[in-house]
Amino acid sequence: MSRLRITEIFHSLQGESRSMGWPTAFIRLTGCPLRCGYCDTAYAFAGGEWMTIDHILNQVTGFGAHHVTVTGGEPLAQPDSLLLLTRLCDAGYEVSLETSGALDISAVDPRVIKVMDLKTPDSGEMKKNLYSNLAHLQAQDQVKFVLCSREDYDWAKDMLLEYGIATRCEVLFSPSHGQLAPRTLAEWILSDHLPVRFQIQLHKILWGAERGR
């Protein structure tokens, strides 16, 4: 029987990505092979509770949400996350996967909206980016850059050009909370006429660092 180690399952408003603001059921898987300097979910690195996929689906059903986000940690660090994603799609949910981009996404169900985070130099984990993942992105997917500095911003601009990311899917530029002023990033984007979407973390505006929100 397929099982996954789960840190938490909760109901909130989506705070990031194209579906920002929608009531969403979140499934946070335990474990991550990365240690980004700005990580705000270090509590998901270990612990958690083993749950069957049927148990997870039952909990999600109780929220009455159409949108479901599978996040972490790093969900793809648990191989059975692929089956969970497919089961959620089969159940009729609009499913998104938040992944670091360090693990292979080629086997992810094509119905899943992949929100892939390319790690910047200041994250401390840039060397773990798996750039071959870019070839598996579809128009419905999104690539996110969490930016800590001007150096991160310039690096992200170079990645846009080198890989033509904005021609593959939507690109999100997000200021790292407490490290880069949102207005500063917004002005850089406008000045350079970048084909990217600026985003901030809505959940931190609404609930701060409160867990499970």
pLDDT in tens, the chain (213 residues): 789 999 999 999 988 888 888 999 999 999 999 989 888 889 999 999 999 999 999 999 999 999 999 999 999 999 999 999 999 999 999 999 999 989 999 999 999 999 999 999 999 999 999 999 999 999 999 999 999 999 999 999 999 999 999 999 999 999 998 899 999 999 999 999 999 999 987 777 776 666 665
Contact 54, 4 (CB under 8 A): no
Residue 190 CB coordination number (10 Å): 10
For 158, the token pair is 């170079």
Residue 97 CB coordination number (10 Å): 25
Sign, Cα dihedral of 92, 207, 212, 85? positive
Contact 67, 93 (CB under 8 A): yes
Q: Domain 3-207 is in which class?
A: alpha beta
Q: Which amino acid is at 24?
A: T
Global confidence as pTM: 0.93
